[in-house]
Chains A and B, each alone.
Chain A
Amino acid sequence: MTQTLNAHAATANANGKALSHGPAPSPGPASSHGAARPIVTLDHVTKRFPGVVANDRVSFDLWPGEVHVLLGENGAGKSTLVGMLSGLQLPDEGGVLIDGHEVRISSPARALELGIGTVFQHSMLVPSLSVVDNMALGGRWWSRPDREGLARRMAAVCADIGVTIDPHAKVGALSLGEQQQVEIVRALMRGSRVLILDEATAMLTPKGAEDLGALMGRLVKLGIAVVFITHKLNEALAFGHRITVLRLGRRVDEISPERLAALGPAAATAEIIRLMFGADAAAQATASHPRRAPSTQPLLQIEGLAVDDDSVPLAGIDLEVSPGEIVGIAGIDGNGQKQFAEAVAGQRRLAAGRIRLGGQPIERLDVGGRRRLGLRYVTDDRLGEGTVGTFPISLNLLLKQVGEAPFWRHGIDQPETIATHARRMVSEFDVRTPGIETAIGKLSGGNIQKALLARELSGKARAVIFAKPTYGLDVQNIRATRQRIREAADAGLAVILISTDLEEVLELSDRIAVMSRGQVVGMVGNDAAARSRVGELMSGATP
């Protein structure tokens, strides 16, 4: 938090210092305090979509030299607000002012002309083109892209903001974090003085998110105004100077830099949770949970597990999980966690190794066989392999039991039994849905996850693997999901929790294994020293 304050104090000295490259931004007020007016003002904008008011008279001021965080859970209206700033949508009512003048941002191109650059959650770069070609895109048809000139200008901007990018690399070969930097650099080269980062950290590693936070700090020092959209509280507090909270399409409140400083991190967190979810939610967040001591007889035993894989082969993984125990698997994303989970669940062939569940060898069984013995896998790929989006919820809840009694008899489905089962699951796991026949793809991420949890945790589950269970969920659903994981362990299930969110692993696990490059590089008990030990293990094996 002190870091945030320093960064903010620095913005006061940012007067007049703007990027010297690209079309020069028109000289506007460059300091946040005492600046005559914000760069961008949304004045009571309303946007309706069929059936919903996505933004209801939302007002929003953006000051130069500030990271303005837009915080809200899924469906709070953040994306719509961004859409109106970046030219994807036009407000139905209300006005947009830039430097005090009313404008109409009718297209992404117009937004760029006005100096608003957007980095969307999903990359807006063409993967098959090189970095400079992506920058060149949009020139006159017959002209030759000025690749060398662009590379030079790019290098200058990169130097200004402290990033390094190979201008001739193919975008598809860059990491997501690097692609984001390319997009930021591109926006600056086009003269943006407002930069919108839409859910920018959602796809990044913790390290990537930290780098992005530092980059935002450097950008605002140059007088750029940054809108940072997120649903992660810690990022909002660590990177933001001013925080606006949206809920159900309305602006609940704005926390000014002064107030943010006065509150301090703990009080600010409580305040934001209260704003995001109402008063009761804040109390829940701090409630701690007593853990039952797990028994010592292992239920799930993995010995010498190895998997052939082109990107991350696994080798020599040993892991034992007792009933009622949560073993967290920490590590940077892409170090073999997915391969490991799929191998245990039966979705990948083992090159070597043994898996036993309650003493019974299961490594030769297929997915269905392992499931029948009580092994469950909650995938992180909820829409891809977890569900069939166009199928109703009722069927998705039985996706891994299709054809089995009592839901199917002699190959004929039993609609009554299926519906009863679905209704029970929906109410037990609090899936918010219009009905059990609704296509699951129409639900929000949080509710899809609840349905997945319902499917995997119900019946005769004995051991569960959770792969990034809270990835992409909003705070309330994260909390509900973590609660389910605790309950599963309390009910005597052996739990493996794979997560790239270290906080989550530390919060839930009894023991923590660290994965790096397809191997378990260490196992630590979750005690006071766990955080630093895990951190060392994670970074020690990283190049």
Chain B
Amino acid sequence: MTALFTDAFLTSLVLGALTAGLPLMLAGLGEQISEKAGVLNIGIEGMMLFGAYLGFLVAYDTGSIWLGFLGGGIGGMLVAAPMALFCIRLGLSQIVIGIALTLGAEGLTALLHHFQFAQSYPRLPAVATLAIPGLSSLPVLGPALFDRPPIVYLAMLAVAVTAYVFRYTQAGLALQAAGDKPAALDAAGVDVGRVRTLAVLTTGFLAGIGGAFMSQVGAGIFVPFMTNGAGFIGIVLAMQARGRPLFVLAGALLFGACLSATTALQVAGVSIPTDVIQMLPFAAVLAVLVLFGRRASLPPALGTHYVRGAR
């Protein structure tokens, strides 16, 4: 059994955890921002998928990976905007609208893909990596963590920035208040709807980049339904992380490791039926929920529409 843990196996496991975990992390981080502000953003799966599609399209047409990520972020926001309109301005059910947006994005991207790429299946070239001098020559971890595309480092930075915003800025307080007691925020002279709208758009942006990461870096290709539940895992991550961005990162890497175990185990030459291995991430979700589900703490105003003066 010890032969399993070769350097090659570990490197590919860590690398896979990062590659598969990063989109989850971005989705979880985005979801956490929405949830903190009191919006249960079920449309996040749709935001990721549309981000994956638009990111791929832009990167393919312009040849720029950076414009691709920007396109992905904007794609996510395009799905987030109706969420903000319907749920925050008009007060419709966040759950219904979220599901509708996810289904809509799935259908729309599949359709567009069918007309644009179904004949040719174009691929993007492999994304250039940026090796961090020194760290990248560490054994095992070096190539897996410190010789990655720059977007990976930026995403890590986003975790730190989010943690800082939550803890040390007025925006963090406003987000927390919008989800915990919107009436108090309103009384303090802050527009609850605006805080929530910005939170949802930020969620869309992050989720869209997460989706674009899947299509541009992870796969190099856009395939319909390619997010495959990543947004929903992001929702679970956000709920379990209890408002802490670092927990989202840790959870995402854990789920990412499970997701990538298939590849790593194949590299190691273990012959377990892939069906069993592919169940791992979902078994992990179940295990986490069973073990920690009771400790999930959600903002009291989550999923509710705020109306001034209503009790």
Contacts and interface: CB of A to CB of B under 8 A. Distances in A.
B272 interface: no
Interface string B175-203: 01100110111111110000000000000
Contact of B189 (A83, A109, A126, A144): A109
A127 B177 CA distance: 9
B173 A145 contact: yes
Nearest to A140: B170
Given A112-B189, A137-B184, A137-B188, A126 B170 contact: no
B39 interface: no
Interface residues of B, number: 22
Looking at chain B's contact residues, is the secondary structure mostly helix, strand, loop, or mixed? helix
Interface in A128-154: 128-129, 133-134, 136-145
Contact of A141 (B174, B299, B309): B174
A402 interface: no
A126 B171 contact: no
Contacts of B187: 108-109, 118, 124
B189 A141 contact: no
Contact of A108 (B170, B186, B299): B186
A142 B170 contact: yes
Interface residues of A, number: 28
B185 A137 contact: yes
Contacts of A138: 170, 174, 185, 188-190
Contacts of B186: 108
Contacts of A141: 169-171, 174
Looking at chain A's contact residues, is the secondary structure mostly helix, strand, loop, or mixed? loop
Interface in A67-112: 83, 88-89, 107-109, 112
A327 B311 CA distance: 36
Contacts of B184: 123-126, 134, 137
A122 B184 CA distance: 10
Contacts of A133: 173
B308 interface: yes
A89 B190 contact: no
B168 interface: yes
B285 to A, nearest CB: 26
Nearest to A121: B311
Interface string B143-184: 000000000000000000000000011110110110011011
Contacts of A140: 170
Given A89-B309, A137-B185, A138-B188, A126 B169 contact: no
Contact of B176 (A83, A128, A142, A144): A128
Nearest to A111: B187
Contact of A128 (B171, B180, B185, B309): B180
A122 B173 CA distance: 20
Contacts, number: 74
Nearest to A112: B189
Contact of A126 (B181, B308, B311): B181
A520 B129 CA distance: 73
Nearest to A147: B168
Nearest to A172: B180
A83 B159 CA distance: 42
Contacts of A109: 187-189
Contacts of A145: 168-170, 173
Contacts of B185: 126, 137-138
A127 B174 CA distance: 13
Contacts of A144: 168-170
Contact of B181 (A88, A107, A124, A136): A124
A136 B177 contact: no
Contacts of A89: 309
Nearest to B164: A144
Given A124-B181, A124-B183, A129-B177, A107 B171 contact: no
A163 B185 CA distance: 25
B190 A127 contact: no
A268 B299 CA distance: 47
Given A108-B187, A142-B169, A137 B180 contact: no
A129 B173 contact: yes
Contacts of B190: 137-138
Contacts of A129: 173, 176-177, 180
Contacts of A124: 181, 183-184, 187
Residue of B187, B188, B189 most packed against chain A (CB within 10 A) = B187
Nearest to A109: B189
A137 B168 CA distance: 12
B300 to A, nearest CB: 8
A215 B128 CA distance: 68
A261 to B, nearest CB: 36
A137 B171 contact: no
B177 A143 contact: no
27 contacts: A83-B309, A89-B309, A107-B189, A108-B186, A108-B187, A123-B181, A124-B187, A125-B181, A126-B181, A127-B180, A128-B176, A129-B173, A129-B176, A129-B177, A129-B180, A137-B170, A137-B177, A137-B184, A137-B185, A137-B188, A138-B170, A138-B190, A141-B169, A143-B169, A144-B169, A145-B169, A145-B173
Given A108-B189, A126-B185, A138-B170, 14 more contacts: A88-B308, A88-B309, A107-B189, A122-B311, A123-B181, A123-B184, A128-B176, A137-B174, A137-B177, A139-B170, A141-B170, A142-B169, A144-B170, A145-B173
